[in-house]
Structure 1
Amino acid sequence: MDAPHYRHPYAYMIPPTIPNLIARSADHPFLCEHLVMGQGLHHDVALAQFDGFELASAYEPIFDISVHALAQSLSSGVEGVDRFGDELGFQAVTHQVDAAPFDVFDPFDRIADDQELVALDRMSRALHAINFFGAQRHGLLFLRVHERLLKSVKYDHGRHFSSVLVSFGLNPSRVVIELPAAAVAHKTFLGYLTKSYQHYGFKVAGNLSNAGQILSVSETARLDFLKMDAGTALRDATVKPLVGYAGRLRIPLIFNRVVDETQFEALQQYDVRFVQGPLFNAHYHDRAV
């Protein structure tokens, strides 16, 4: 079936602000219970209150280094990154309020109950969408989906979140659902998930745990993006074959977790186009919400 055609009363109005979107969340009892406008230093962003935690959004940039000359920009310091590269989009990261934006914190690891996990996932995705679109950020919003969530929701993956976005007057086509490597490893499941999320208007990215996993992608589903750990690919000397195979599949390949300039310079030896990771995050600390 074709993806549904999205048209909403808000679609042609002035882009909504974060307070606008928080107000619209009143139509969703669960979201209304947990999502609020922040106060004090956080007065201009949305926060989530869940199980004793106060959660906020941070955004990790994904750069297109084929644009201009980002490859040369690091010679004058990473602070010059946004003058040379264009952002494909941003990956949302959940963090605790008042903690550093990219400190490791995974609230999902603290939850044993599957239904509570589903609730937290839906809340955090809505939080990140509100802060992303309400701030008029450009590009695509990448949202990770937890492996346990994929098993807890039996069918129609993407239906609920798509309906929430449309009720907010937001277009699901600017959201990339990022599947974990465990899902990519199962060909049939990957095909079902990809088609389901795409049916509801989303783009889909798949994480590769190793270079060999890319061989299963073309047989199962047309993913919109692939992601691979830069350190693993460099260690295993698989950057060049990965770039070549992804090129034949016509699926953009993102090398993530680029931790330092040594890794970045090594990636530049190949036709790598998209990069992401801690090397670039420091420049965005002041933009994180």
Structure 2
Amino acid sequence: MHHLNLHNYLSRLRHSTANSHLWLDEQGRARGRYFNASLTSAFQAIRSGEDHQVVAYEAYARSYDPGDQGLNIWKLLEYVANDDESVELDRLCRLLHTLNFYRQVQEPGLDLYLSVHSRLLAAVEGNHGMAFRRILDVLEIPHVQIILQLPLITPSQRWVLTHVAENYRRNGFRIGVNASSLEQAGDLLDRIRPDAIKLDISAANHASAQISLLQRADQAQCHIIFRRIENEARFLSLQQANDTASPYLVQGFLFDLPSATLVGQATELPTAASHTTSTIAATAAELPG
């Protein structure tokens, strides 16, 4: 860790108790308290689709569990927290993730993806991202390595998404968006001009459309991330369909599970070229309909 102000802040948190709003536990993890729940962070790697090298991490808010099996905190609290409380929880989670990521990251240049909850799109008035930018500046953490990941939207939320994205961009953040289809990804690429677009692997269902999207995204310097890759057959199918020099990123349980500890770089997986059609057929039964 090379951020002096962050180091000093974490040192102060070590003297806080578990009754505090924010503290460090005996394992050095930043933890927070909300609605009598103890919160912490889990991270899942985002990797190059070509060589599987880690290029970024996505952070998730989890209830604390000593065995690293915490529950999704948003699913636990979404129906008991009002909009104002959700905004407060979102900001607490962002701070927790930032502390837990930068206290252990060793490699320069790794990006951190932080999700913005859907309630914040309309609940926050004024300048989105300004308060978080100030925190990062105080901690001497490079905001340019943080991607604020906006939620999947309905058609009626198009203008809200555009407004929020511009606010975050004005405060120096890079923007990520979620798409439910290749078609929506293309629309978001043109309209929002994001730095990253996430697609479920189930949406990767049209080879020529995928190649077109990847080529356009490459020209626009936007990462396309295929997520929820849970088995090898899905990954091999993706590799074969994307017969293009345009880069893409991947994420999913096939590579690693979300964990409090950042994973290492190496993940050995066979490439599509090393598998025959019979291998694909043998594993195709694993694919959901």
TM range (shorter): 0.7 to 0.9
Question: Distance between the aligned counterparts of 2:82 and 2:165, measured in 1?
Answer: 25
Residues 1:124 and 2:84 aligned together = no
Secondary structure in 1 matching 2:128: coil
Residues 1:263 and 2:247 aligned together = no
Alignment of 1:52-201 (within 5 A): 52-66=36-50, 70=51, 85-98=52-65, 101=68, 104-107=71-74, 108-138=77-107, 139-182=110-153, 186-201=157-172
- Once the two structures are TM-superposed, the CA of residue 174 in structure 1 deviates from its matched residue by 1.1
* Contact 2:48/2:250 (<8 A) preserved: yes
Question: Distance between the aligned counterparts of 1:33 and 1:93, measured in 2?
Answer: 21
- Once the two structures are TM-superposed, the CA of residue 236 in structure 1 deviates from its matched residue by 9.2
Cα 1:276–1:14 shift into 2, 3 Å: closer
Number of the residue aligned with 1:76: none
- Once the two structures are TM-superposed, the CA of residue 23 in structure 1 deviates from its matched residue by 4.9
- Once the two structures are TM-superposed, the CA of residue 169 in structure 1 deviates from its matched residue by 1.5
Question: Distance between the aligned counterparts of 2:48 and 2:207, measured in 1?
Answer: 23
CA RMSD of aligned residues (A): 3.0
2:192 to 221, 226, 248: 221
- Once the two structures are TM-superposed, the CA of residue 185 in structure 1 deviates from its matched residue by 7.2
More divergent stretch after superposition (240-249 vs 138-147): 240-249
- Once the two structures are TM-superposed, the CA of residue 115 in structure 1 deviates from its matched residue by 1.0
Cα 1:106–1:123 shift into 2, 3 Å: same
* Contact 2:33/2:39 (<8 A) preserved: yes
Number of the residue aligned with 1:287: 261
- Once the two structures are TM-superposed, the CA of residue 114 in structure 1 deviates from its matched residue by 1.0
Question: Distance between the aligned counterparts of 2:139 and 2:13, measured in 1?
Answer: 8
Residues 1:47 and 2:16 aligned together = no
Secondary structure in 2 matching 1:268: helix
Secondary structure in 1 matching 2:126: coil
The residue identity in structure 2 corresponding to 1:128 is H
* Identity across the alignment (%): 26
The residue identity in structure 1 corresponding to 2:153 is A
Question: Distance between the aligned counterparts of 2:191 and 2:42, measured in 1?
Answer: 32
Secondary structure in 2 matching 1:279: coil
Question: Distance between the aligned counterparts of 1:156 and 1:23, measured in 2?
Answer: 31
Whose helix proportion is higher, 1 or 2?
A: 1
- Once the two structures are TM-superposed, the CA of residue 48 in structure 1 deviates from its matched residue by 1.1
- Gapped runs of 5+ residues in structure 1? 1-12, 27-31, 71-84
Question: Distance between the aligned counterparts of 2:68 and 2:33, measured in 1?
Answer: 17
- Once the two structures are TM-superposed, the CA of residue 155 in structure 1 deviates from its matched residue by 2.2
Q: Deviations over 1:19-46 (max 9, x none)?
A: 63335679xxxxx95110113xxx2211
- Gapped runs of 5+ residues in structure 2? 264-289
Number of the residue aligned with 2:286: none
Cα 1:245–1:186 shift into 2, 3 Å: farther
Question: Distance between the aligned counterparts of 1:188 and 1:60, measured in 2?
Answer: 30
Secondary structure in 2 matching 1:59: strand
Q: Deviations over 1:101-148 (max 9, x none)?
A: 466513342433111111111111000000111213440110000001
Question: Distance between the aligned counterparts of 1:25 and 1:198, measured in 2?
Answer: 31
- Once the two structures are TM-superposed, the CA of residue 238 in structure 1 deviates from its matched residue by 4.9
Cα 1:87–1:149 shift into 2, 3 Å: same
TM superposition score normalised by structure 1 = 0.76
Question: Distance between the aligned counterparts of 1:110 and 1:186, measured in 2?
Answer: 21
More divergent stretch after superposition (122-131 vs 136-145): 136-145
Secondary structure in 2 matching 1:227: strand
Question: Distance between the aligned counterparts of 1:250 and 1:176, measured in 2?
Answer: 14
Question: Distance between the aligned counterparts of 1:231 and 1:99, measured in 2?
Answer: 33
